[in-house]
Amino acid sequence: EAQVTQNPRYLITVTGKKLTVTCSQNMNHEYMSWYRQDPGLGLRQIYYSMNVEVTDKGDVPEGYKVSRKEKRNFPLILESPSPNQTSLYFCASTPKGAPYNEQFFGPGTRLTVL
Amino acid sequence: RKEVEQDPGPFNVPEGATVAFNCTYSNSASQSFFWYRQDCRKEPKLLMSVYSSGNEDGRFTAQLNRASQYISLLIRDSKLSDSATYLCVVNQVYNFNKFYFGSGTKLNVKP
């Protein structure tokens, strides 16, 4: 089944404790993105990747890191989480090509930072 | 100013009604336009792309007005299952992997 998976789905952590949210897609898509969703603000792009070893900042990259060592994986790293990073996070992948290509989203990771 | 703006609603309509949502975007360089549907904090899923000439998919019709920089979605014969939040999405001509989402319009279809 073609899909984007994220782990963990739910996480409660404390300020300053490094964490990684994994994202993996099995559709051989070139493009991948991370978003956060907050009430009233919609989805905001954190980072995106055009291909292996090619990443760029989205609109809200502060406090986050990413890496793209393999085409299928795009982990999101919070080196020192803070309460303002409490949010719902989505990973998405898109095939390369025409601009009307669909984004496929993972099921989301609900993160709470205490 | 936000890149994409939508009326948050909620729009409460009876089954069978026709309902329309608008979305405005601020950057005239926007190239591609989409409507996504999101159910109760689940992942967004593509409802339809929006083409320059407008397009229809069953009960759903999408229109683009570049001059006024807005996109519309019309839903005819609303079903209970149409209850969801509808997200307007645009991306830019110079980087079509950079997407901007509206905050969504909530639709409640009542029996």
3-class DSSP string for B55-104 = EEECCEEEEEECCCCEEEEEECCCCHHHCEEEEEEEEECCEEEEEEECCC
A42–B32: do the CB atoms touch at under 8 Å?
no
Is the pLDDT at A36 greater than 90? The verdict is: yes
Q: Yes or no: say if A62 and B54 are a contact pair by the CB < 8 Å rule.
A: no
- Please give the pLDDT value at position B98: 79
Condensed to tens digits (0 to 9), the pLDDT of residues B9-33 reads: 999 999 999 999 999 999 887 778 9
In A, minimum Cα distance to B48 occurs at A102
Average pLDDT over residues A24-50: 93
Whether residues B32 and A100 touch (CB distance < 8 A) is answered with: yes
Position B93 scores a pLDDT of 62
pLDDT at A98: 64
pLDDT > 70: what percent of chain A? 97
CB–CB contact B101 A43 (8 Å): yes
Poorest-pLDDT segment among A24-38, A71-85, B83-97: B83-97
**Per-residue model confidence as pLDDT tens digits over B37-76:** 999 879 999 999 998 888 999 999 999 999 999 999 999 9
Report yes or no: B20 and B61 within 8 Å, Cβ to Cβ: no
Q: How far is B40 from chain A (nearest CA, A)?
A: 12
Most A-contacting residue of B27, B39, B43 (CB-CB within 10 A), to test interface:
B43
Give yes or no for residue B110 having a pLDDT over 90: yes
Average pLDDT over residues A62-76: 97
Residue A102 CB: number of other CB atoms within 10 A? 15
Å from B13 to nearest chain A CA?
A: 22
Q: How far is CA B66 from CA A114, B15, B26, B49, B52, in A?
A: 45, 32, 11, 15, 8
State the first-to-last Cα distance of chain A, in angstroms, to the nearest integer. 36
**How would you class B67 by CB atoms within 10 Å of its CB: exposed for 0-12, middle for 13-18, buried for 19 or more?**
exposed
Tell me the C-alpha distance between B89 and B31, whole Å.
11
Q: What is the pLDDT of residue A28?
A: 94
- A96 contacts: CB under 8 Å, gap ≥ 6: A29, A30, A31
Using the Cβ of B111 and the Cβ atoms of chain A, whether some distance falls under 8 Å is answered with no
> What is the pLDDT, as a whole number, of residue A99?
64
User: What pLDDT was estimated at residue B94?
Assistant: 66
Closest CA to B86 of B12, B32, B34: B34
